Amino acid sequence: MDSFLATPLEPNRFPLNCDMNTLARFRRAMGKDDQEVLDDLLFSVRHHWPLKEDAAHLTPIELLLMTMMVEQRKELLDLKDLVNGK
């Protein structure tokens, strides 16, 4: 999966209103495996972005982090169910 941070962004390609250059520099400082994990996390939260109008009290980075945590928690619960045979 190509990262949306690896190339210049097109308007509305990933509607995040934070400093994408800072996020891209952070990504470039990571190892390749970590870059792929970050890309996967960012991809997993894309369907939450319509919530940004309802969550105007949050900064864009807070919204990004909260949605990442929600997705991670859902994955953990799915794994717990799998392990417990549910």
CB 51 within 8 A of CB 39: no
Model confidence pLDDT, tens digit, residues 43-65:
877 777 677 667 777 777 787 78
Cα 61 from Cα 16, distance rounded (Å): 8
On whether residue 8 sits in a domain, the answer given is no
> Does residue 6 sit within a domain?
no
Parent domain of 59: 20-83
For residue 51, tell me if it sits in a domain: yes
- What is the length of the chain? 86
Residue at 34 is within a domain: yes
Question: Domain count of the chain?
Answer: 1
More reliable by pLDDT, 72 or 55: 72
Give per-residue pLDDT as tens, 9-44: 344 444 454 556 677 888 899 999 999 988 888 887
Please check whether residue 7 lies inside any domain of the structure: no
- Is 15 within the bounds of a domain? no
28 assigned to some structural domain: yes
